[in-house]
């Protein structure tokens, strides 16, 4: 198989062209031959009419016993042409006079003799007995003869006039045309295939250019794009699609890069604190036990924070790779919410925040219980974290058609309007200093990203429904039965 499209196209083009030209020439050859034969037939009819006029005129002029033969001789003499033979037969099928019997009719050739004595001629003569007019091909020489037979009466008797016309000149003309075709066609095909190759090369040149451009694009220069010459043609569409693909890849690469940079940045802080704190603890020979206890408390806290970040990162990475199959089970959402509220109560009490769950009717759901718990705890944790002392956090749940709507409202300071669209981004924190502070539990900005992914993995959604200076409300929509989906971000 030829590997180059240019050559394949040229070969196909040449092959199809050769077949089309071959067919056209064959058809043209037959049409031409047919019209030549028709013209010959018309000539034969004219010749026959003129022959009979002469014959009849001679019969009127002459008298005597052999008057018919004499008149026929004269008519043959007068109508003698090269490559034409005459014969007159009676109705028994016997030739009574032919061109050969007319000495004055300029020496009928050897070929003529052969024709008139041939079996083909006799067959034609026999066939003409049964019909008034007959045309036929007489394949006696290489080129063959065209024969015409016509019945006529003279002096009260019926005869058959037969005129044979050699097809040699016509055949010769056809052969000359054929041999001209024989060298013209290959030259035409050769020229056309050269042109075809040139065109294929020219039309595929942009593809070659695009392929070498594409070959040069790698991770380092992912922002380069293919040149689009005409965005409306097919190659323009191809280049456009390729560029769109590169856009998506570049965006995904950028996201990954940002993710890596943010992740390492987030990990660096607790690691630095761990190192610093342990160095301080080890630097003094003897320290009061309270100081060691304090150092250990800080170490423990940072280790917990580190563990949480690593777990969150692991969750998101698995979710991105689509490798986080949901473990669905049947449970009651209202019970799970009550459980989470109970767990968060200690945190709330520490800040003297009133935490209430308004309760809900029985809410059976089929979902991944541990993921939904994680989402609820994240939202509760945030609500408490971003609400000042003596504030209020309220949780509500109700069914709306085929989904549950869980809302968690707080009386915190809200999210600034310009930051609202970004709070679900990974590593995004509205107030970095505050949310990383120890007192607030040191979030890494992954909580909402994971919570939204959990809602979406259940075919639901999580949104910031309200946020102003009086507080915020996050609303999670969870389908009653989210179907057998495999999670991915």
Contact positions vs ligand ADP (CB under 6 A): 378, 382-383, 386, 410, 412, 414-415, 423, 428-431, 435, 443-449, 472
Closer residue to ligand ADP in complex, CB, 339/431: 431
Task: Determine the Cα–Cα distance for residues 345 and 262; give it in Å rounded to an integer.
Answer: 32
In the complex, the smallest distance separating the C-beta of residue 442 from ligand ADP, rounded to whole angstroms, is 8
Task: Determine the Cα–Cα distance for residues 382 and 69; give it in Å rounded to an integer.
Answer: 133
What strands, in cross-sheet order, belong to the sheet with 461-468?
354-357, 392-400, 403-410, 471-479, 461-468
Question: Which of 476, 478, 469, 373 has its CA nearest to residue 412?
Answer: 469
Closer residue to ligand ADP in complex, CB, 112/447: 447
Task: Determine the Cα–Cα distance for residues 349 and 391; give it in Å rounded to an integer.
Answer: 11
In the complex, the smallest distance separating the C-beta of residue 423 from ligand ADP, rounded to whole angstroms, is 4
Closer residue to ligand ADP in complex, CB, 101/410: 410
Closer residue to ligand ADP in complex, CB, 85/455: 455
Q: What value does the CA radius of gyration of the chain take, rounded to a whole number of Å?
A: 53
Question: Which of 425, 441, 355 has its CA nearest to residue 392?
Answer: 355
Distance, CA of 436 to chain centre? 53
C-alpha distances in angstroms, 208 versus 3, 128, 406?
A: 14, 73, 57
In the complex, the smallest distance separating the C-beta of residue 334 from ligand ADP, rounded to whole angstroms, is 22
In the complex, the smallest distance separating the C-beta of residue 387 from ligand ADP, rounded to whole angstroms, is 7
Closer residue to ligand ADP in complex, CB, 338/419: 419
Closer residue to ligand ADP in complex, CB, 394/435: 435
Structural contact between residues 275 and 246, judged by C-beta atoms closer than 8 angstroms:
no
In the complex, the smallest distance separating the C-beta of residue 477 from ligand ADP, rounded to whole angstroms, is 17
Place of tokens 């099928």: 93
* Phi, psi for 291 (deg, rounded to 5): -65, -40
Place of tokens 């060691």: 292
Closer residue to ligand ADP in complex, CB, 404/453: 453
Give bridge partners of residue 462 from the DSSP assignment. 476
Residue nearest to ligand ADP (CB): 443
Burial 453-465 (b: 16+ CB within 10 A, else e): bbbbbbebebebe
In the complex, the smallest distance separating the C-beta of residue 474 from ligand ADP, rounded to whole angstroms, is 7
Question: Which of 107, 106, 85 has its CA nearest to residue 97?
Answer: 85
In the complex, the smallest distance separating the C-beta of residue 484 from ligand ADP, rounded to whole angstroms, is 28
Q: Is 288 exposed, middle or buried (0-12, 13-18, 19+ CB in 10 A)?
A: exposed
In the complex, the smallest distance separating the C-beta of residue 448 from ligand ADP, rounded to whole angstroms, is 3
The runs of H, that is alpha helices, within 79-117 are 110-116
Closer residue to ligand ADP in complex, CB, 100/377: 377
């Amino acid at each position: 198989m030829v590997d180059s499209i240019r050559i394949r196209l040229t070969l196909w083009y040449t092959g199809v062209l050769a077949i089309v030209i071959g067919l056209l020439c064959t058809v043209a050859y037959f049409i031409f031959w047919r019209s030549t034969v028709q013209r010959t037939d018309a000539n034969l009819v004219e010749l026959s009419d003129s022959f009979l006029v002469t014959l009849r005129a001679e019969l009127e002029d002459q008298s005597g016993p052999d008057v018919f033969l004499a008149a026929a001789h004269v008519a043959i003499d007068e109508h003698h042409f090269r490559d034409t033979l005459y014969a007159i037969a009676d109705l028994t099928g016997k030739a009574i006079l032919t061109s050969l019997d007319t000495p004055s009719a300029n020496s009928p050739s050897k070929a003529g003799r052969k024709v008139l004595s041939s079996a083909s001629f006799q067959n034609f003569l026999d066939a003409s007995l049964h019909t008034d007019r007959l045309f036929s091909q007489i394949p006696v020489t290489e080129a063959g003869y065209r024969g015409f037979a016509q019945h006529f009466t003279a002096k009260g008797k019926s005869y058959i006039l037969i005129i044979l016309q050699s097809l040699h000149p016509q055949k010769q003309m056809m052969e000359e045309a054929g041999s001209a075709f024989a060298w013209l066609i290959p030259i035409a095909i050769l020229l056309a295939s050269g042109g075809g190759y040139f065109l294929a090369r020219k039309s595929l040149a942009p593809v070659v250019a695009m392929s070498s451009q594409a070959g040069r694009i790698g991770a380092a220069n992912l922002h380069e794009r293919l040149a689009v010459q005409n965005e409306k043609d097919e190659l323009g569409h191809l280049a456009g699609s390729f560029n769109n693909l590169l856009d998506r890849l570049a965006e995904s690469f950028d996201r990954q890069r940002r993710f890596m940079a943010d992740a390492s940045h987030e990990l660096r802080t607790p690691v630095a604190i761990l190192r610093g704190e342990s160095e301080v603890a080890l630097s003094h020979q003897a320290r009061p036990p309270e100081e060691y206890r304090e150092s250990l408390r800080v170490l423990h806290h940072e280790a917990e924070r580190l563990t949480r970040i690593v777990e969150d990162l692991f969750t998101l990475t698995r979710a991105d790779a689509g490798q986080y199959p949901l473990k669905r089970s049947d449970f009651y959402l209202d019970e799970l919410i009550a459980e989470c509220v109970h767990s968060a109560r200690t945190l709330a009490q520490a800040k003297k925040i009133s935490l209430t769950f308004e309760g809900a009717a029985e809410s059976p759901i089929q979902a991944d219980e541990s993921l939904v718990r994680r989402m609820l705890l994240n939202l509760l944790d945030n609500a408490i974290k971003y609400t000042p002392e003596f504030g209020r956090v309220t949780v509500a749940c109700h069914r709306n058609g085929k989904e549950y709507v869980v809302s968690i409202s707080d009386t915190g300071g809200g999210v600034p309007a310009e930051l609202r669209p970004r709070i679900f981004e990974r590593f995004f924190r509205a107030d970095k200093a505050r949310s990383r502070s120890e007192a607030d539990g040191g979030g890494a900005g992954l909580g909402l990203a994971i919570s939204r992914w959990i809602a979406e993995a259940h075919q639901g959604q999580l949104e910031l429904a309200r946020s102003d200076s009086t507080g915020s409300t996050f609303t999670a929509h969870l389908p009653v039965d989210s179907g057998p989906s495999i999670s991915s971000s």
